[in-house]
Amino acid sequence: MSPSSSGHVHMMKGQPFHVKYREIIRRLMFLIGALVVFRLGAHIPLPGIDNVALAQFFKANEGTFLGLFNMFSGGALERMSILALGIMPYISASIIVQLMSSIVPSLEALKKEGEQGKRKINQYTRYGTLLLAFVQGVGMCAGLISQGITLTSGLAFYIPALTSLIAGTMFLMWLGEQITERGVGNGISMIIFAGIVAGLPNLVIQSVTSPDVNMIGLVVFGLLSIAVLAAIVFIEKAQRRIPVNYAQKQQGRRVFTAQQTHLPLKINMAGVIPAIFASSLLLFPASLGQWVGSADPNAGFTKRFLQELSLKLSPGEPFYLVLFGALIIFFCYFYTALVFSPKEVSENLKRSGAYVPGIRPGEQTARYLDHILNRLTFIGAIYITVICLMPMILQSSFGIPFHLGGTSLLIVVVVVMDFMAQLQAHLTSHQYDNQSLMKKTTAHPKG
């Protein structure tokens, strides 16, 4: 080895940390900067809002669906900032486009066109986000005027407020895409995570300083929270590994021996999507009741119906718990069917010369995988339902004043696990690139 090449390898091994991991540090700094921008945006007020009336309105509606909506917006709704709509229009548009891509043949064909098809689907998702942001923005502006929270009314309020709300949602969508591309982790998930974590200190203070606090109940709930966290981590990492064998094959004079591997199936394939989508779906009728409904007994039938519906759909109410649990289970099965197709997997295994031991390739393998997937999805659906409903049941039944919901807890833990997995992947990739560079440097020494 020449002195120049050996010196280069020595320099690579002895690089300072900030030089060796420059790319990872750059990604982490971009992520932190983007989240700081998001938090600053959550404090920019919407034009034409009466802050005193807004504070009274939120105090009067504490513990209703507004708290859930406020959580997803990172506290921007409570401050009525330009980011009050949050990222929910984008999430709803993404899920709608995903559902449509499994029904509409033209969208299904786009999914199979690789990067070009993906860009086209992303474009449709952006259009859907814009449409949903407009519809939800109009509803929010109408609700603010009806509740007397605005300083002006009519077009003088609608035009600046609606423009600000739509621009805020589109900016969050763009920011999330930038985090995914140039940072670490999924951008949309990180924005929701940052909004939830930003409100945690205030929630803990409310729970501890509440006049009705039961210290024994609070300690029990704290221990139970630790157990729930451990259960979430355990189940999110749990897999059912189906053994897969590859038959011996020959290409020319080379003979490839039989190989054995496994097909990993997660218990919870849907992640936090069922909880998020069920929550956002329940927000719609509750929102109508809250914005349009009236407690006046002489009001029209529609208004009285919406008001009663809004009351029944308040978190902790029996009807809300039953409907929320049913929607979570439904979306668990529905979303799992979208992301994993037993028939497609069985066909891919058959084409590659692989088979499940004891199961005939083709249709029989598809039925076998579908049977296992249904059982795993049932366990995953019950797990997510219990996690999301348990805090509400404990709070309504035992009066434990802890305001962090199960949906929030699930999102926080899953996003942290995904972030750590992606960070580990970046570290492994960086280490592999360094090793490849060292091998290339030492492979052909000069002199």
Give the DSSP letter string of 370-427: HHHHHHHHHHHHHHHHHHHHHHHHHHHHH-------HHHHHHHHHHHHHHHHHHHHHH
How high is the mean pLDDT of the chain? 79
- pLDDT (0 to 100) of residue 5: 47
Select the highest-mean-pLDDT range: 13-22, 351-360, 393-402: 351-360
Structural domains in the chain, CATH included, are 15-208 (1.10.3370.10)
Percent of the chain scoring above 90 in pLDDT: 15
Phi (first) and psi of residue 154, to 5 degrees: 70, -155
Under the banding of pLDDT at 50, 70 and 90, the label for residue 295 is very low
C-beta neighbour count of 297 within 10 angstroms: 6
- Interval 404-432 mean pLDDT: 80
Percent of the chain scoring above 70 in pLDDT: 73
- Interval 422-437 mean pLDDT: 71
Phi (first) and psi of residue 265, to 5 degrees: -120, 120
- pLDDT (0 to 100) of residue 79: 81
pLDDT at 305 over 80: no
* Tokens representing residue 411 in the block: 């999102």
Under the banding of pLDDT at 50, 70 and 90, the label for residue 53 is confident
- Which residues have C-beta within 8 Å of that of residue 32, sequence separation ≥ 6? none
Nearest to 73 by CA among 56, 55, 59, 85: 85
Select the highest-mean-pLDDT range: 14-23, 222-231, 295-304, 313-322: 222-231
Under the banding of pLDDT at 50, 70 and 90, the label for residue 164 is very high
- Separation CA 62–CA 203 (nearest Å): 13
- Separation CA 22–CA 35 (nearest Å): 20
- pLDDT (0 to 100) of residue 17: 60
Instruction: Say which DSSP state 446 is in.
Output: -
- pLDDT (0 to 100) of residue 294: 45
pLDDT at 447 over 50: no
- Which residues have C-beta within 8 Å of that of residue 149, sequence separation ≥ 6? 49, 50, 53, 54, 57, 80
- pLDDT (0 to 100) of residue 399: 57
Across 115-124, 202-211, 222-231, least confident range = 202-211
Under the banding of pLDDT at 50, 70 and 90, the label for residue 288 is low
Q: Which residues of 403-438 are buried (b: 16+ CB within 10 A; e: fewer)?
A: bbbbbbbbbbbbbeebbeebeeeeeeeeeeeeeeee
- pLDDT (0 to 100) of residue 306: 63
For residues 404, 406, 409, 410, the Cα torsion angle rounded to the nearest 10 degrees is -160
Q: What is the pLDDT of residues 78-121, one digit of tens each?
A: 788 898 888 888 888 887 888 788 788 888 888 778 788 888 88
Under the banding of pLDDT at 50, 70 and 90, the label for residue 62 is low
Cα R_g (the chain), whole angstroms: 26
Select the highest-mean-pLDDT range: 35-49, 253-267, 402-416: 35-49
Q: What is the pLDDT of residues 241-286, one digit of tens each?
A: 888 888 766 566 665 566 788 888 988 888 888 887 787 777 766 6
- pLDDT (0 to 100) of residue 415: 87
- pLDDT (0 to 100) of residue 162: 93
Provide the β-strand partners of residue 244: 261
Check: CB of residue 111 under 8 Å from CB of residue 121.
Answer: yes
**31-36, long-range: CB < 8 A, 24+ apart:** 31/179, 31/183, 31/184, 31/185, 31/190, 34/175, 34/178, 34/179, 34/183, 34/187, 34/190, 35/190, 35/191, 35/194
* Tokens representing residue 372 in the block: 């296992």
Q: What is the pLDDT of residues 212-222, one digit of tens each?
A: 666 776 777 77
pLDDT at 372 over 90: yes
- Separation CA 239–CA 26 (nearest Å): 33
Phi (first) and psi of residue 243, to 5 degrees: -65, 140
